[in-house]
Amino acid sequence: MLFGRFAFTVRYTWFKNWVNSPAGQRLGLAAIPDGPVNLRMLRRTLALELAYRPGGVLASKIHLKHVAVATTEGYACRPGGAQAELLSEVNKHESDRNLDLVLAEFRNYQQGILPAGPGARSLTAFFASIDTEITAAFETTPKIQHNDRDILNLLTKRAKVLHLGPANYCWFTDPSRALCLKIAGTPTADRPLVGMCDSARCPQATHHPTHRPVWAEHAERTKTFIGQLGKTRTVERDRLRADHDRALRVIAEIDAATTPQPNQDIP
């Protein structure tokens, strides 16, 4: 325990009375305002005061007996080395994962397995342009094998705008077209609001075979709910039916796009 065992409330009241008394004023002490104070608040204030001095984060860590410096950084609201390192590691993993996903989808495209959803046409056109670029490069330098690394370089920019929704991929290329931001009334935000995603209607959303089970489960669950509704719940039934129809439509689109097709020019 930082301060040991003692009757804090009584001592604090004595201390406050003294600071606010003529004796405290004579010494130039700032008056202590009324309001609750407890040991937890005091510990937190002390941590902040310590942490904001030169070398203070380490001093706070030692004084507050934290095991990891990241705890102190969080405690003192000072994201620093440990937190920044963790964040950069997370970002790196996220970028690698996005690149792997984009590459997998590009390979799917080459096999004739296309994306579905409102953003499918734009993504397919992008893949077609990359494919053309690779083919052109191969024709000019036929002896050079174009490996994944070369293709990844071409896909990197696209991977940077990829966000994962539970039932779709979000290609956040243009905030002004993001349906979630329009609904939230924040059209200039620099990140999508995946929690408010309506991927069946947003022009930046695509659906892929990996999302099919989520939509199938949603359709099944909605169907069960509809079956359990009483006869009088017409408004609720209409809403659930629309939801169910939408899930079936997305599944049908995914199935249609997943059926391998010969590679063809994008209209």
Q: Site size for ligand SF4, by CB under 6 A?
A: 15
- Nearer to ligand SF4 by Cβ, of 34 and 190: the residue is 190
- What angle is formed at CA 163 by the lines to CA 248 and CA 252, rounded to 5 degrees? 15
User: Any idea which residue has 């499918």 for tokens?
Assistant: 120
Applying CB under 6 A, does 192 fall inside the site for ligand SF4?
A: yes
3-class state of residue 37 by DSSP: coil
3-class state of residue 261 by DSSP: coil
Residue selected from 50, 202, 219, 251 as contacting ligand SF4 according to rule CB under 6 A? 202
Q: Which stretch binds ligand SF4 (CB under 6 A): 54-62, 120-128, 174-182, 250-258?
A: 174-182
Q: Residue 116: beta bridge partners?
A: 207
Residue selected from 50, 162, 197, 240 as contacting ligand SF4 according to rule CB under 6 A? 197
Q: Which stretch binds ligand SF4 (CB under 6 A): 15-23, 77-85, 187-195, 251-259?
A: 187-195
Q: Which stretch binds ligand SF4 (CB under 6 A): 36-44, 99-107, 195-203, 223-231?
A: 195-203
Least separation in angstroms between CB 108 and ligand SF4: 19
Q: Which stretch binds ligand SF4 (CB under 6 A): 44-52, 90-98, 164-172, 244-252?
A: 164-172
With CA atoms as reference, report the closest residue to 158 among 172, 179, 178, 147: 172
Q: DSSP class of residue 260?
A: -
With CA atoms as reference, report the closest residue to 85 among 68, 101, 99, 98: 68
Applying CB under 6 A, does 180 fall inside the site for ligand SF4?
A: yes
Quick note: the x/- pattern for ligand SF4 over 114-153, rule CB under 6 A, is: ----------------------------------------
3-class state of residue 149 by DSSP: helix
Applying CB under 6 A, does 198 fall inside the site for ligand SF4?
A: yes
Determine how β-strand 169-171 pairs with β-strand 162-164. Answer: antiparallel
Q: Which stretch binds ligand SF4 (CB under 6 A): 78-86, 101-109, 165-173, 243-251?
A: 165-173
Residue selected from 120, 179, 240, 257 as contacting ligand SF4 according to rule CB under 6 A? 179
3-class state of residue 177 by DSSP: helix
Residue selected from 172, 218, 253, 257 as contacting ligand SF4 according to rule CB under 6 A? 172
Helices (H), the chain: 8-20, 22-26, 39-51, 56-64, 69-75, 81-110, 120-140, 148-160, 179-184, 212-228, 234-258
Q: Report how far Cα 143 is from the mean position of its chain's Cα atoms.
A: 42
Question: Alpha-carbon Rg of the chain, whole angstroms?
Answer: 29
Applying CB under 6 A, does 170 fall inside the site for ligand SF4?
A: yes
Least separation in angstroms between CB 205 and ligand SF4: 4
Least separation in angstroms between CB 94 and ligand SF4: 16
With CA atoms as reference, report the closest residue to 120 among 168, 62, 61: 168
User: Under the rule (CB under 6 A), what is the footprint of ligand SF4?
Assistant: 165, 170, 172, 178-180, 192-194, 197-199, 202, 204-205
